[in-house]
Amino acid sequence: MKKVYIVRHAKSSWEHPGLKDYERPLNNRGLRDAPLMAKRLKDLGAVPDLLISSHAVRAHHTARFFAEALNCPREIEVASGLYGAEPGDIVQMIQELDNSIKEVCIFGHNPTITDLVNHYAETHISNVPTCGVVVLEAEIDDWKAFVQATVRLRHFLYPKMFATPEHE
């Protein structure tokens, strides 16, 4: 069994218009939602062997919250190709993983995340919101076999599912 956790970065700040897009940090909502969703993923029993993040500040910062909550032993691998990637690029990245890795968590951006999820979802998802988490599972031993026919969408979680009055 192989698992892929796809995470859209948490909400980013537009407070500094002079920053390049990939330099934008998380805003207050992002700083609140990232640890919340990391805990939710931990509650599902996630134990990723590897975390891969876009080089964008907001994605990498989101990944750091997940790394801490999930007690990940390895450094977060930065893949600059995730910024502006197409869904097929991410699938190829997954298919090239070392087979010793059983679970991987990938932090990226829309529209790529939503398009990728819809490739595997049995029903259409209009949007994976910021800090949304999708869990994909495949009954395979070799990542090269990670194709549409082998993959199932098991969970789709996002911050508003867990909103409390102080979080709205």
pLDDT of residue 91: 95
Average pLDDT, the chain: 93
The domain locations on the chain are 2-167
**Per-residue pLDDT at 165 exceeds 80:** no
CATH superfamily of 2-167: Phosphoglycerate mutase-like (3.40.50.1240)
Distance CA 30, CA 19 (A): 17
The pLDDT-based confidence of 105 (bands split at 50, 70, 90) is very high
Bond into 111 cis (ω within 30): yes
Return the closest-CA partner of residue 104 out of 68, 145, 63, 132: 63
For the segment 71-97, the average pLDDT, to the nearest whole number, is: 93
* Cβ atoms of residues 133 and 7 within 8 Å: yes
Among the residues of 96-152, which ranges form H helices? Answer: 112-120
Token pair, residue 20, equals: 């390049």
Distance CA 61, CA 9 (A): 8
* Cβ atoms of residues 132 and 4 within 8 Å: no
Residue with the larger pLDDT of the pair 80 and 35: 35
